[in-house]
Amino acid sequence: MPRKYIDFVLVWETPSSGPPSVTADPDDPTPVKKSPIRKDESGNDTLEKRRIFERNLEEEGLHLERETLEGSNLNFVKIHSSMPVLR
């Protein structure tokens, strides 16, 4: 089987379950609350937008390989493409 090259990588952090955590920006000493459910400025769930975006990529001929980093909240989507699709 020929080796697949990774053309692009999408990375995002999934909020942990449980109560919102408090973090501080290194440049701003004011604590900031992180919401466990991510919503955009119009209040829509970003998970649904991500699903639609990924489906559209697949419909254009891109192959998506999804991974989650064990012990972390990081998620990865490796995007593979043939040369005709990239052109």
Query: Which pLDDT tens digit goes with each residue over 23-72?
Result: 445 555 555 444 445 565 655 688 889 999 999 999 999 999 999 988 89
Where are the alpha helices (H) located in the chain, listed in sequence order? 46-59, 83-86
Residue 17's pLDDT band, with cuts at 50, 70 and 90, is low
Distance CA 36, CA 73 (A): 12
Which pTM does this prediction carry?
0.63
State the number of CA atoms in the 13 A half-sphere of 59 facing the CB: 6
